Amino acid sequence: MLNIWGRRNSSNVQKVMWTIGELGLEFKRHTVGDSFGGLKTEEYRKLNPNAVIPVIDDDGVIIWESNVIVRYLSAKYGEGNLWPKDPAKRAVADQWMDWMQTTVGTDSGIIFMGLVRTPADEQNHEAIAAAAKRLGYSYGILDRHLASSKYVGGDSFSMGDIPLGVNLFRYFNIAVERPELPHLQDWYQRLLERPAYREHVAFPFGSSLEEWLELEKAGR
Ligand SMILES: N[C@@H](CCC(=O)N[C@@H](CS)C(=O)NCC(=O)O)C(=O)O
């Protein structure tokens, strides 16, 4: 049985849950992290010494780092669909997965942590606006790629869509200035047609710390 640790409103957990949903795998999810706690224990550190979520235990195979878990599950259970067989095609999916972590991850983190996870009277609007400007520029790069590619990794949906699809949901549902991104919008609409994306990613996360904690407490 595949076990996963992490609250359902964590973007890194959502990458894994969406993958599990796409693959139709049986799983057991343990709700830990943020207001649920459970990370700073000896027992949890044995699973993930970084004391962060997610981590999985797939019949004794323990893996942490969300993108690596997405790759592992795709390779093991999704060869030919989530995991492109052709190394060249797989590298394109892989490239955008790393790009999510290294290029858009930092700025989207500043925006999300700054607006949703910080009390209103402590928010640094200058830093948030600067990150939004950089993020708009970065997402412009993906927008141009998607002008000639239906999905991130090519003609069909693959693991390459997953980390960016999670990040994009937050970007499109948070109050920041965005440039026109028509191809990204079209891709987002295609993702919204996927039941696993709607179930594990595309649900409200709140627009303030109070709303975030309220939704988290309600398990939504
Ligand atoms: N690079 C790691 C980052 C993991 C991470 O920072 N997870 C956050 C949640 S998205 C976390 O554990 N935060 C502490 C908490 O939820 O209590 C990954 O991609 O898995």
Burial 98-135 (b: 16+ CB within 10 A, else e): ebbeebbbebbbbbbebbbeeeeeebeeeebeebbebb
Query: Could you tell which of 5, 12, 18 is best to mutate to test the pocket of ligand 1, judged by most ligand atoms within 8 Å of the CB?
Result: 12
**Domain boundary pick from 28, 46, 77:** 77
Q: What is the pLDDT of residue 220?
A: 77
Whether the per-residue pLDDT at 211 is higher than 90: the answer is yes
Whether ligand 1 lies within 6 angstroms of the CB of 10 is answered as: yes
Q: Could you tell me if 203 and 111 lie in one domain?
A: yes
Query: Could you tell which of 13, 48, 53, 167 is best to mutate to test the pocket of ligand 1, judged by most ligand atoms within 8 Å of the CB?
Result: 53
Task: Determine, yes or no, domain membership for 218.
Answer: no
Residue 22 near residue 82, CB atoms below 8 Å: yes
CATH of the domain at 72: 3.40.30.10
What's the pTM?
0.97
Q: What is the pLDDT of residue 66?
A: 98
Whether the per-residue pLDDT at 155 is higher than 90: the answer is yes
Q: Could you tell me if 119 and 205 lie in one domain?
A: yes
Angle at 75 (CA atoms; ends 167, 101), nearest 5 degrees: 25
CA 169 – ligand 1 centroid, Å: 17
CA 166 – ligand 1 centroid, Å: 14
CA 54 – ligand 1 centroid, Å: 7
Q: What is the pLDDT of residue 219?
A: 83
Task: Determine, yes or no, domain membership for 65.
Answer: yes
Whether ligand 1 lies within 6 angstroms of the CB of 70 is answered as: no
Whether ligand 1 lies within 6 angstroms of the CB of 11 is answered as: yes
Which residue's alpha carbon is nearest to atom 1 within ligand 1?
65
Q: What is the pLDDT of residues 171-207, one digit of tens each?
A: 999 999 999 999 999 999 999 999 999 999 999 999 9
Q: Could you tell me if 148 and 202 lie in one domain?
A: yes
Whether ligand 1 lies within 6 angstroms of the CB of 36 is answered as: no
Q: Which residues contact 158 (CB under 8 A, 6 or more apart)?
A: 74, 81, 82, 83, 84, 89, 93, 151, 152
If one counts the domains in the chain, the total is 2
Owning domain of residue 39 = 2-77
Cα end-to-end distance, the chain, whole Å = 24
**Domain boundary pick from 58, 77, 96:** 77
Q: Could you tell me if 130 and 198 lie in one domain?
A: yes
Mean pLDDT of the chain: 97
CA 158 – ligand 1 centroid, Å: 23
Q: Could you tell me if 143 and 58 lie in one domain?
A: no
CA 180 – ligand 1 centroid, Å: 30
Q: Could you tell me if 100 and 49 lie in one domain?
A: no
Q: What is the pLDDT of residues 1-30, one digit of tens each?
A: 999 999 999 999 999 999 999 999 999 999
Is 43 exposed, middle or buried (CB count within 10 Å of its CB: 0-12, 13-18, 19+)? exposed
Q: What is the pLDDT of residues 78-137, one digit of tens each?
A: 999 999 999 999 999 999 999 999 999 999 999 999 999 999 999 999 999 999 999 999
Q: Could you tell me if 99 and 11 lie in one domain?
A: no
Distances (CA, A) of 50 to 46, 101, 109: 9, 17, 18
Give the position, in ligand 1's atom list, of the atom nearest the Cα of 15. 19
Two tokens, residue 196: 């696993």
Q: Could you tell me if 42 and 110 lie in one domain?
A: no
